[in-house]
Structure 1
Amino acid sequence: MEKIKVMIIGNNDNRIYEIKSLLGNEEIAFVGFSKQGDSALEKTLSLKPQVVIIHCEEEVEDAVNLAEKLNIKMPGSGVIFLCDHLSVAIIDKAMFAGVRKVMSFPVDAKSLIQNIQLVNQVEKSRSENSSTAVANMESKVVTVFGAKGGIGKTTIAVNVGVVLAKMGKKVAILDANLQFGDVNVFFDIDSKDTISELSQGKDLTDIDAIKRLMALHYTGVSILCAPKSPEYAEYVSAKNVETIINTMRPYYDYIIIDTTPAFSDVNVVAIENSNLILLICEPDISTIRNTKVSLNILEYLQQRDKTEIVINRAGNGTISIKDIQKVLDVQIKHKIPLDIKIGIACHNKGVPIVVDSPRTAIAQELRKLGKEIVNTIDQIGK
């Protein structure tokens, strides 16, 4: 039988030794102790106990703050308070902080061990259910890529994000155009905090820190903006981007990544971590040629199977959809019509097309694309 790992935190050495002496049970493994303070959280995270016993004398507020941090950072680890002076106020504060059991000290060994076992069982069950929920919630990552600048990648990324949000999905957009990204402009958002500031810190694995730096648009889309100026792009590495994606995955239904027209390290990481790649193409010779080359590279990277071509600004030009299908040797399912007037007007206003002009043909096709993305990803996942 696996033993329950227990740690003790407190400022009174005598009390710590008294509590430790009560843990003489074949099901309990004492893994260490710590004084309260800044080092207590760090040591607890390193020891990874299943149950933490915090002894309180007068320093109740410090104990409550520590318990709250442990509840957030160590899911699956339960906290027990042992208090010299117990009151209703202390119990209320402890329970709000996520403490599983509050007991008066001194306490007998039998009662303490029974409560350790109970808390461990509750946390174990909660952790298992949480893991299942996280697995069910794990994001679908959609990278919007293209082999040429100015072909509407950002327009499509922004509007698809809004469409998915309107479908009830929890959506985040990551602007990976690190030098000249302007997703924030399409949403009329001032990018005070960006992926650059996030990458310069040590919080890439902390979802709360990431969310604090994201902008929330009224459509329900959360945006992690590109750096404010090109020189800040150097602070963001491909590894940073991959860590951010993996940290965000359990908390969003869809992560949309807008990219540059290049097979850079950052873009390759985005592509390789995607469930679906939207390869944007326009009906002109230059873009079609570059798209053909991109398809060959994606084949080499073993990412071709999850790539869908989107023809943007499709119209009645000299190059038809059939011509493009023949050149690229693919079936094209997604076509966004040409509407320069609406596109420019919405961009200048900072309002997504599907919000500002929902009845236009371009908005209807963008909504259709969003719905098809959901269906396509579901099919890929089968």
Structure 2
Amino acid sequence: MTLLWDADRGAADRYNYAVGGDINRHDSSVALMRDLEDSPRENLVIIGPDIDMQSACDLSEAVRVHRAEVGVLLLRRRLDVSLLGQALRAGVREVLTADDLTGLADAVRRSRELSQKMAGQHDQAVQDGKVITVFSAKGGVGKTTFSTNLSAYLASTGARVLVVDLDLAFGDVGISLQMLPQNSIIDLVQMAGHLDEQGLQQIVTHHESGLDAACAPAEPSDADRIPGTIIAELLKVAKRSYDFIVVDTPPAFTEHVLAAFDNSDLLVLIATLDIPAVKNLRLTLDTLDLLGSPKEDRVVVLNRSDAKVGLRSEDVVAVIKQDIAVMVPNSQAVPASVNRGVPIVLDEPKHPVSIAMRELADQFLRPVAGDATRAEGRERRGSDESTRRRILSWGGRR
């Protein structure tokens, strides 16, 4: 989002292409400064050509004092030497003619690059969101339900949350939240190699709960056109805009899933009380060991834990040789909430399933945001290429 001070109601549409993202127009400097105070990650202000020169300089000086990393670009009908001098003394980064949209686009790029450099390591730490990947090598265990509910709950606490649907062929995040996305992850392909925060915002869909969603493509065939590298790029860029990125996954070790594993701070592994799910969980843990994933970055969750099917939670622990962090009870209220498109954690907060979901988020997900040591550990993570190829060769078998 770029902040624009311009009395012309059509100004935002006129400059939108050059700026390359959404523009929030204000009629007064007071309103703009208020918006800037509420937008700690905003780094660009544009002042329209018809704003009084002294008022424009006063705003630029105020921005320089309160948010030195924010760039101010000034548009004028015509340029002269005295005007340029006055603007530069007030802290304006560049002055351009209002009809030079190409020049404006270049100035926007230069200003944002400078702002990122000025932000330095401190702001980078502030912007370092955490990636939580929800995975099971067996379908039907509730991954999407967990991903959407955990995301909705984290968003309800005031966190900035993005849920990413990596089931690129048959993803259900959008329909589970009753969203109608206009764009999806397939639209990132054209931005590969130069994806930025503005580009990411163009493909996400906002949900009424406060979370954003990067949805799977509408056409299953599009999944093959999405390289794993763009997923890694997506997650790295998202960490600069969101506190939490929750990744929903397909039940297979695809290149996209491996990219998510490589960039994850925590893996939430879902199982149910049936032998195929437990067997696949055991194989998943072995595969993560091969990939070099730290054991302390994994959380095992038993879904439908009270189902009377002849298998107990103790049996699961004996097989996987790892404790179960959270047990989520079985309930018909869960599929009912999915059919309504409302996360149960918000719709029925006192329900036992909702309580278990919040326990998972509060005890294991939210503390990750304050753990600076995980990033260092993730940098040491990795496996040789032959191992990854071998995993990908049988990743779809289950």
State the secondary structure of the residue aligned to 1:196: helix
Q: Is residue 2:269 matched to residue 1:279?
A: yes
Q: CA deviation at 1:309?
A: 0.7
Q: Is residue 2:359 matched to residue 1:368?
A: yes
Structure 1 counterpart of 2:158, from 155, 161, 168: 168
Q: Is residue 2:315 matched to residue 1:323?
A: yes
Q: Which residue of 1 aligns with 2:129?
A: 139
Structure 2 counterpart of 1:89, from 52, 61, 80: 52
| Structure 1 residue runs without a partner (length 5+) | 1-60, 80-85
> Partners of 2:115 and 2:143 in 1: how far apart?
44
Task: Give CA-to-partner distance per residue, 1:14-55, whole Å, 9 cap, x none.
Answer: xxxxxxxxxxxxxxxxxxxxxxxxxxxxxxxxxxxxxxxxxx
Q: CA deviation at 1:253?
A: 0.1
The residue type paired with residue 169 of structure 1 is A
Q: Which residue of 2 aligns with 1:349?
A: 340
Task: Give the 3 Å change call, closer, same or farther, for CA 118–106 of structure 1 in structure 2.
Answer: closer
Task: Give CA-to-partner distance per residue, 1:124-174, whole Å, 9 cap, x none.
Answer: 798434652232121100000101001000000000001111111100001
Structure 2 counterpart of 1:226, from 216, 219, 236: 216
Q: Which residue of 2 aligns with 1:39?
A: none
Structure 2 counterpart of 1:211, from 198, 201, 205: 201
Structure 2 counterpart of 1:153, from 143, 159, 163: 143
Which piece of structure 1 moves more, 160-169 or 194-203? Answer: 194-203
Q: Which residue of 2 aligns with 1:98?
A: 72
The residue type paired with residue 322 of structure 2 is V
> Partners of 1:270 and 1:381 in 2: how far apart?
19
Q: CA deviation at 1:243?
A: 1.0
The 5 A counterparts of 1:155-304 are 155-201=145-191, 205-304=195-294
- Ranges of 4+ aligned residues in structure 1 off by more than 4 Å: 68-72, 75-79, 90-97, 100-104, 114-120, 122-127, 201-204
Equivalent pair of 1:151/1:282 in contact (CA under 8 Å): yes
> Partners of 2:307 and 2:279 in 1: how far apart?
20
Q: CA deviation at 1:287?
A: 0.7
> Partners of 2:336 and 2:21 in 1: how far apart?
48
Task: Give the 3 Å change call, closer, same or farther, for CA 204–222 of structure 1 in structure 2.
Answer: farther
Q: CA deviation at 1:239?
A: 0.7
Q: How many residues align?
A: 311
Equivalent pair of 1:172/1:252 in contact (CA under 8 Å): yes
Equivalent pair of 2:270/2:301 in contact (CA under 8 Å): yes
Equivalent pair of 1:354/1:366 in contact (CA under 8 Å): yes
Task: Give the 3 Å change call, closer, same or farther, for CA 93–107 of structure 1 in structure 2.
Answer: closer
Length-normalised TM-score, structure 2: 0.67
Q: CA deviation at 1:370?
A: 1.2
Cα RMSD (Å) of the superposition? 3.9
Task: Give the 3 Å change call, closer, same or farther, for CA 108–252 of structure 1 in structure 2.
Answer: closer
State the secondary structure of the residue aligned to 2:209: coil
Which piece of structure 1 moves more, 274-283 or 307-316? Answer: 307-316
Q: CA deviation at 1:331?
A: 1.4
Equivalent pair of 1:203/1:209 in contact (CA under 8 Å): no
> Partners of 1:211 and 1:77 in 2: how far apart?
16
> Partners of 1:309 and 1:155 in 2: how far apart?
16
Q: Which residue of 1 aligns with 2:349?
A: 358
Task: Give the 3 Å change call, closer, same or farther, for CA 234–70 of structure 1 in structure 2.
Answer: closer
State the secondary structure of the residue aligned to 2:52: helix
The residue type paired with residue 228 of structure 1 is A
Task: Give the 3 Å change call, closer, same or farther, for CA 269–352 of structure 1 in structure 2.
Answer: same
Task: Give CA-to-partner distance per residue, 1:88-118, whole Å, 9 cap, x none.
Answer: 6356568688138999844699x79x95999
Q: CA deviation at 1:250?
A: 0.7
Equivalent pair of 1:280/1:310 in contact (CA under 8 Å): yes
State the secondary structure of the residue aligned to 2:146: helix
Task: Give the 3 Å change call, closer, same or farther, for CA 100–361 of structure 1 in structure 2.
Answer: same
Q: Percent identity?
A: 24
The residue type paired with residue 89 of structure 1 is D
Q: CA deviation at 1:274?
A: 0.3
Q: CA deviation at 1:211?
A: 1.2
Which piece of structure 1 moves more, 265-274 or 228-237? Answer: 228-237
Equivalent pair of 1:204/1:240 in contact (CA under 8 Å): no
Task: Give the 3 Å change call, closer, same or farther, for CA 98–131 of structure 1 in structure 2.
Answer: farther
> Partners of 1:71 and 1:115 in 2: how far apart?
28
Q: CA deviation at 1:209?
A: 2.4
| Structure 2 residue runs without a partner (length 5+) | 1-10, 23-41, 61-70, 95-110, 374-398
